[in-house]
Structure 1
Amino acid sequence: MRDLWFANEDIHINVLSRLSAKILHQMKCVSKEWKNLISDRSFIRIQLKNREAVSGFFFQERFQWTDNDIGFINYIPVEGEGDKVWRMVLNFLPEKVVILSSINGLICCRSCFSSFPPRLYVCNPLNKQWITLQWPDLSRSSCLALAFDPLQNPIDASADFKVVAVSDTKTREADYHLIFDIYSTETGSWRRSDEFCQCKHKLIKNKGIFVDGRLYWLTDGYQILMFDPQIELSWLIMAPLPATHFRSIPEMCIGESEGRLCYIIISEDGLQLWVLEDYFASQWGLTICLTLKELENENPSVLSNISKEMASSITRSTLPPWIDPLAFKDGMLFVRVATNTYLFQFETKRMKKLTKISTLGLNPMDSPTVIPYTMSLVQLG
């Protein structure tokens, strides 16, 4: 059996590398040879070239008016029937954490601020590997995001990544600037970038999203902050549509699909999916536009009287919106409608119920963090 295995190793690699990371991780139990091959970093690099499907979404509630953390994290898989929530996915870490970002199977999170000193963790939930990073001298309001591309950066010895922290500061002229601190595994330390960005808006929703070598943050001012950690360049990208275009306040989020930044808007115009074509010129392309009527016709049990519900939510401005897009990845939109969460697939235009919002915590509607997760075999050790 051993001679037959190595005689046909190229065939085995070709076949196995086409399987998903989840299946391959389970197949490590087949034999010692299979475990060695699937754990080999050169095999992992080959397998990563096959685009992995979204496996689920992490959901973590936050307090709206305080800096206190809620170290309770839900994981909602996209497969199977609804109302399936896992709550132990990150319990292999040494303490409760706040999830910050995820890219290519790795997750960046920090310890709750009740811990002192705070710590950063980068982990892979599939193989339960994790490393600890030093917490930089930053304020609690700083936003941190992970930059990691295993096809561009070496993974032969260990995963090579960067963590970027965005903080705001006020100059003597009363201007608000965003500054950037960067951690690199190459140096094993933090340093302050010379780059800064003049911006007075707050970073909202899922915070940093890594797309094609650059990080993006959605702001509450119809702008998107871009930062390239390689050349240390920041830029403010205008949203596809200005605020004056809408009669009411639209709900939006940003995400990634096929290596491109996407902007999702739900408004009186319906559901729109825009794709960034040129960040320097703030040029977008509208790829999908569904009217409210079309959405209701495809999902009558979920979006009954959607126009009326959205109009009535405007008069309740102090309450969370009736419909709220929270995260997007590869054609899948995680969206809350009233008191339930759904997965909307742009390809089919259909909504699949995931879970009741009440099962996700005591305060799940006030600006939760929702992060798409894709599994990978990437090793940190």
Structure 2
Amino acid sequence: MDRGKKPSNLFGKNSKIYMDLKDIVRENALPFLPAKSLRRCRGVCRDWKLTISTPFFAHNQSNSFNHVSGFFVQTAPGVPSFVSLDPTVYGVPDPSLSFLPEPVDIRSSSNGLLCCQGRTGYRAYYICNPVTKQWRKLPKPEADHGTDPVVVLIFEPSLLNFIAEYKLICAFPSELDGIEFEIFSSENGSWRISADICFGEASLIPTSGVYVNGTVYWLSSRGLLALDLTTERSKILYHGPGTLGVMNKKLCAAYLHGNQRLNVSLLSNTHSNTMQMHSQAKTWVSLKPSINPNLPVPVATNNCYAGEYDYYTPIRSEVRDGVLFVDGDVVLIRAGGTLYSYDMKKKTTATLGEVDSRARIFGYVNSLVELNTSS
């Protein structure tokens, strides 16, 4: 009896559960794309262009996209440049950062934001997003951070914070023969010097700082300097060999052993130096087996930190061959004057180009994060 009736359209255009494909992509895919790709997507249709241009979308994208997209490279006193992991997908409109009011040196990077330092006057710090060209000049610090400051920028995207909230942590030599810490918070817009002092002489590597789970770590001539930002207490830990990075949401250290083996260790116990003698607890646990990145050229130097650091030898600032950067699945290696990226998940190696041995490298996330530019 019902053969002549047409089936009802449960998913008709007037139904709330019906969505065009372009709407599905707009709502569920666009926020997970990098900034450069989103610029192209603005040309798809007027609806997409309006959506991508809203502050709410920028906030959503900065929380959804967190992949390492490439590296800012700078050799003092040169102009910054950008090396993309995939030029068709990742990029910035002005890699030289000429939109800033003066020439700068990049000091740190975090989830789409850069910390730069000016070269004139009191050498002010700037926080900027190289995609949107938004920037903010920070007030003058209370302490003297030196000519090559040891700073770490911390920005953790949060759905609860519509405007980016960040901190800048600087470790500087104390007059009391130790290391002190000055902290800038964007929330209150001011600097303050922490009450904690890490006593004892220690030389720090300026670009070695890494932030993981509430703690900042730096390589030093005494070992691994750790500052817990919750308690604002510092201590020296044993440092296994390697350039510091983040893997599996833990602090890691990676280095090349021999010619082709990549060794990675994860920090598993920060209290081993206070435990009883003969304890079996290990500070660092190595990933097994070691990895072969299949580099096309031999590595000139077995490295512990960028070819120049281990626990017992003095620090040198010049970067040579070895592991330069580790974050998630991405490992950056310099061999024979050329940069190579190794994807630990896909187990593939890509050639990125030649780089000066003295260049400093900063990992970068291609984000639309909105920056509060008011003082």
Distance 1:85 1:47, change over 3 A: closer
2:85 matches 1:78: yes
Q: Please name the residue that 1:167 is paired with.
A: 172
SS in 2 for 1:17: helix
TM-score by length of 1: 0.75
Distance 1:329 1:276 in 2: 14
1:97-125 alpha-carbon deviations (Å, 9 max, x no partner) = 1101111101111102xx01321110111
Q: Of 56, 72, 75, which residue of structure 2 is paired with 1:58?
A: 72
Matches within 5 A, 1:232-381: 232-240=232-240, 252-268=242-258, 270-281=261-272, 283-290=283-290, 294=292, 298-299=294-295, 301-303=296-298, 309-310=300-301, 323-357=321-355, 364-366=356-358, 368-381=359-372
Task: Please say which of residues 132-141 and 28-37 is displaced more in the overlay.
Answer: 28-37
Distance 1:36 1:260, change over 3 A: farther
Distance 2:365 2:336 in 1: 27
Q: Please name the residue that 1:140 is paired with.
A: 147
Cα offset for 1:348?
4.8
Query: Based on CA coordinates, which of the two structures has the bigger radius of gyration?
Result: 2
Distance 1:203 1:146 in 2: 16
1:313-334 alpha-carbon deviations (Å, 9 max, x no partner) = 99xx999686222122222222
TM-score by length of 2: 0.76
SS in 1 for 2:195: strand
Q: In the alignment, residue 135 of structure 1 is paired with which amino acid?
A: K
**Are 2:319 and 2:357, in contact at CA under 8 Å, matched by a contact in 1?**
no
SS in 2 for 1:146: strand
**Are 1:335 and 1:342, in contact at CA under 8 Å, matched by a contact in 2?**
yes
Distance 1:321 1:168, change over 3 A: closer
Cα offset for 1:262?
1.5
Q: Please name the residue that 1:248 is paired with.
A: none
SS in 2 for 1:134: coil
Unaligned runs of 5+ in 2: 1-13, 273-281, 309-313
Q: Over the residues paired in the alignment, what is the CA RMSD in angstroms? A: 3.5
Q: Of 152, 155, 158, which residue of structure 1 is paired with 2:161?
A: 155
Distance 2:317 2:118 in 1: 30
Q: Please name the residue that 1:116 is paired with.
A: 121
Cα offset for 1:47?
3.2
Q: In the alignment, residue 92 of structure 1 is paired with which amino acid?
A: F
Distance 1:92 1:25, change over 3 A: same
Distance 1:380 1:16 in 2: 21
Q: Please name the residue that 2:277 is paired with.
A: none
Distance 1:356 1:16, change over 3 A: closer
Matches within 5 A, 1:184-263: 184-204=185-205, 206-221=207-222, 223-240=223-240, 252-263=242-253
Distance 2:104 2:81 in 1: 12
Q: Please name the residue that 2:110 is paired with.
A: 103
Distance 1:194 1:321, change over 3 A: closer
**Are 1:146 and 1:208, in contact at CA under 8 Å, matched by a contact in 2?**
no
1:171-216 alpha-carbon deviations (Å, 9 max, x no partner) = 2xxxx31101111112211111111212433222623222233322
Task: Please say which of residues 101-110 and 282-291 is displaced more in the overlay.
Answer: 282-291
**Are 1:13 and 1:43, in contact at CA under 8 Å, matched by a contact in 2?**
no
**Are 1:339 and 1:356, in contact at CA under 8 Å, matched by a contact in 2?**
yes
Task: Please say which of residues 72-81 and 160-169 is displaced more in the overlay.
Answer: 72-81
Distance 1:348 1:14, change over 3 A: closer
Aligned residue pairs total 331
**Are 2:264 and 2:290, in contact at CA under 8 Å, matched by a contact in 1?**
no
Distance 1:29 1:87, change over 3 A: closer
Q: In the alignment, residue 286 of structure 2 is paired with which amino acid?
A: L
Distance 2:169 2:231 in 1: 13
Q: In the alignment, residue 268 of structure 2 is paired with which amino acid?
A: E
Distance 1:60 1:322, change over 3 A: closer
Cα offset for 1:342?
1.8
Distance 1:123 1:321 in 2: 26
Cα offset for 1:89?
4.0
Cα offset for 1:163?
1.0
**Are 1:102 and 1:371, in contact at CA under 8 Å, matched by a contact in 2?**
yes
